[in-house]
Structure 1
């Protein structure tokens, strides 16, 4: 089962890199979402996929019994899901605002749409 999930993670990473190399903002954002999902699946796969005993520690025992599940990958995945969703929402609003101001979602055309008359700010060096 780990081999199948590893292949799926590799496919997700490859598709995410392909989408992030695009010139369109929407494709770049979808690539970032796919990259976040690939990282989540990687953490999930690293935390073992075998059925295990829940990590409940009985009273008076200092060490977890053998074969218990590791709760750390699950906590990391939940945290990563929340962070990636909020990051995606922020980037979605930012790209929509850029589309409203510049009238395009192509990154090459966005560079052309920058004002050329304004001088660069002075360097602090």
Structure 2
């Protein structure tokens, strides 16, 4: 199972890098969102995909699951959602002001 998720992480990173290298501002924002999801999956996989009971002191159990990676990922999901929403609003404002979402035109470069 961890091998399959590792392959999925590689595919997501590949797609994210492809989108980040685009000239379109919306694609760059979507690439950063996909990259953040790939990192979330990476953290979850490195934390271990184990099954077990909650780590309570009074319980008699042989295996416990660590809740720290899940808590970190939940916090990271909320932060990445807020950053993505902010970037989408910023891209909309840039488009309304300049009339384009091409990054080369926004930088002032002429086409070669």
Normalized against structure 2, the TM-score is what?
0.90
- 1:43-58 equivalence runs, <5 A: 43-58=43-58
Structure 1 residue 57, shift from structure 2 partner: 2.0
Correspondence for 1:67 among 63, 70, 73:
63
2:61 aligned with 1:23: no
CA RMSD of superposed structures (Å): 1.8
Number of the residue aligned with 2:77: 81
Partner of 1:22, secondary structure, is coil
Gaps of 5+ in 2: none
Number of the residue aligned with 1:62: none
Q: Which has the larger radius of gyration?
A: 1
Q: Show CA shifts across 1:28-57 (max 9, x none).
A: 011011011101111111121121222222
2:21 aligned with 1:2: no
Aligned length: 109
2:93 aligned with 1:97: yes
Whole-angstrom CA distance in 1 between matches of 2:49 and 2:25: 35
Gaps of 5+ in 1: 60-64, 114-125
